[in-house]
Amino acid sequence: MVQVQLRVPKETIKEIDEWVSKGRFKSRSDAIKTIIALYEEREKTREFYKMLMKRSEEVKKDPSILIAFEEL
């Protein structure tokens, strides 16, 4: 792990501290790591969606490239 310093608005820290006090996270660090992980997951989902949309356009042009579930 690498330690970093970052500047965050006071209101955001207050909200994170509230989450920690309510037991949603163990610490500020845990909350920030979780938020980053969720962002990374969202980006992966966006990339997957883009791939599906591209594949959908390809199939519209040539339906013969579809693979039946039975063949998987």
Q: Where are the domains of the chain?
A: 10-71
Name the residue with higher pLDDT: 23 or 72: 23
Q: How many CA atoms lie within 13 A of 48 on its CB side?
A: 6
pLDDT tens per residue across span 56-72 = 999 999 888 888 778 77
* Distance set, CA 24 to CA 12, 45, 66 (Å): 15, 24, 44
**What's the whole-number average pLDDT of the chain?**
94
pLDDT tens per residue across span 3-14 = 999 999 999 999
Per-residue model confidence (pLDDT) at position 66: 85
Per-residue model confidence (pLDDT) at position 17: 98
